[in-house]
């Protein structure tokens, strides 16, 4: 494989990486807890977009339960975001079959 081919492959991979990162920034995934009374939405880049709490989950005598539900919903959404990123990055890596170039790119 010539140097020109390596450079072209590297440029294509960089463009694909940028496309995937843009898709992840726009993608939103959701996590929920307590049967859906607490819901969290995060982007594919793991930024929290929103947390929604059904009024039935608000019990002034049990704030700790609500805190646990929020934590669980956010963690579930973040896990879904990580799985989405792994899926998209895995699909990108399987496209090119980089062969020896993979070591040069750190992957």
pLDDT of residue 1: 62
Residue spans of the chain under pLDDT 70: 1, 93-107
What is the pTM (predicted TM-score) of this model?
Answer: 0.72
CATH of domain 3-104: 3.30.1310.10
**Residues 46-56, buried b or exposed e (16+ Cβ, 10 A)?**
eeeeeeebeee
pLDDT of residue 59: 92
Query: What totals of helices (H) and strands (E) does the chain contain, helices first?
Result: 3, 3
pLDDT of residue 88: 85
Any bridge partners for residue 48, and if so which?
42
Cα-based angle 71, 73, 77 (whole degrees, multiple of 5)? 115
pLDDT of residue 94: 66
Question: How do strand 48-53 and strand 28-33 relate by DSSP bridges?
Answer: unpaired
pLDDT of residue 104: 46
Q: What is the residue extent of each domain of the chain?
A: 3-104
Rounded CA-CA distance 11/21 in Å is 15
């Amino acid at each position: 494989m010539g140097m020109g081919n390596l450079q072209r492959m590297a440029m294509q991979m960089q463009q694909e990486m940028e496309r995937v990162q843009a898709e992840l920034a726009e993608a939103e995934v959701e996590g929920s807890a307590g049967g859906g009374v607490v819901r969290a939405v995060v982007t594919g880049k793991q930024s929290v977009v929103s947390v929604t709490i059904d009024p039935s989950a608000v019990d002034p005598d049990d704030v700790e339960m609500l805190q646990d539900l929020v934590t669980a919903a956010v963690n579930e959404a973040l896990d879904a975001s990580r799985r989405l990123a792994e899926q998209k990055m895995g699909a990108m890596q399987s496209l090119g079959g980089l062969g020896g170039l993979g070591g040069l790119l750190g992957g």
